[in-house]
Amino acid sequence: MPDAVRLADKLARFSDLWSPKIVAQFNGHDVMVVKVKGEFVWHSHPDTDDFFLVLQGNIVIQLADGEVRLGPGDLYVVPKGVQHRPVAEEEAHLLLIEPKGTPNTGDAATAAVKDAI
Amino acid sequence: MPDAVRLADKLARFSDLWSPKIVAQFNGHDVMVVKVKGEFVWHSHPDTDDFFLVLQGNIVIQLADGEVRLGPGDLYVVPKGVQHRPVAEEEAHLLLIEPKGTPNTGDAATAAVKDAI
């Protein structure tokens, strides 16, 4: 029987930025928490949508044709293949869902290693 | 470009219980919010895991061999095929993710219709 996942407890265990930590598995996907601050790289995922739920703080998801502003309790799904760049002026905490093995930068060569916590 | 989804705004639009509302699509899955209170039916989903994230309130997910207690910010994935029954003493609000067309009761004959809001 899997355990309940307390997202706040998981987030208290690390401080590195842009480094998603796996907290659960769901239908072949990794469910992850991540801390972000600053500007990420422009990237896209050719084979998967990209799920963002803001748990704390605020982020902007920049897109080629605009931007989406998200605060706590706001959710956004970047469709597969769509170029985007997450940006956070101050530290923000997110829940992410991606198929297992998806590189967070869209490129295996530059992707963060995703450890389970 | 899909819109940002403000979960609180979506939850303010309805009051019926145990009737998931679709707020986004992700990799062939419906992302839904639902209000629950009382005891649901025992059921399982033979072909999919069942994703629960508590947004407000508290729930218990009863399992054959125990139970899992969840509060705000707690997440639980019921593995596919596992019998479970969600129970909430007081009204609680949840984020759910299931493949499109999954019957919430595990049985198409008794399932709620899932409308998008």
CA-wise closest residue to A59 among A97, A17, A19, A87 = A87
pLDDT over 70 (residue A89) = yes
With beta carbons under 8 A apart, name residues in chain B contacting A51.
26, 31
Residue A2 falls inside a structural domain: no
Range(s) of the domain holding residue A29 = 7-116
Residue B1 falls inside a structural domain: no
pLDDT over 80 (residue A92) = yes
- Of the pLDDT bands very low, low, confident and very high (cuts 50, 70, 90), residue A1 is low
Residue of B nearest to A27 (CA): B49
CA-wise closest residue to A63 among B27, B2, B5 = B2
CATH number at residue A110: 2.60.120.10
CA dihedral (B16, B94, B111, A76) positive or negative: positive
pLDDT of residue B1: 66
Question: How far A55 CA sits from the closest chain B CA (Å)?
Answer: 8
Residue A1 falls inside a structural domain: no
Residue B79 falls inside a structural domain: yes
ipTM exceeds 0.90: yes
With beta carbons under 8 A apart, name residues in chain B contacting A76.
2, 4-5, 24
If one counts the domains in chain B, the total is: 1
Residue A101 falls inside a structural domain: yes
Which of A1, A48, A74 is opposite residue B66, by nearest beta carbon? Answer: A1
pLDDT over 90 (residue B35) = yes
Residue B51 falls inside a structural domain: yes
pLDDT tens by residue, A23-62: 999 999 999 999 999 999 999 999 999 999 999 999 999 9
Residue A12 falls inside a structural domain: yes
pLDDT tens by residue, B51-107: 999 999 999 999 999 999 999 999 999 999 999 999 999 999 999 999 998 888 888
> By percentage, how much of chain B surpasses pLDDT 70?
98
Residue B48 falls inside a structural domain: yes
Q: What is the pTM of this model?
A: 0.94
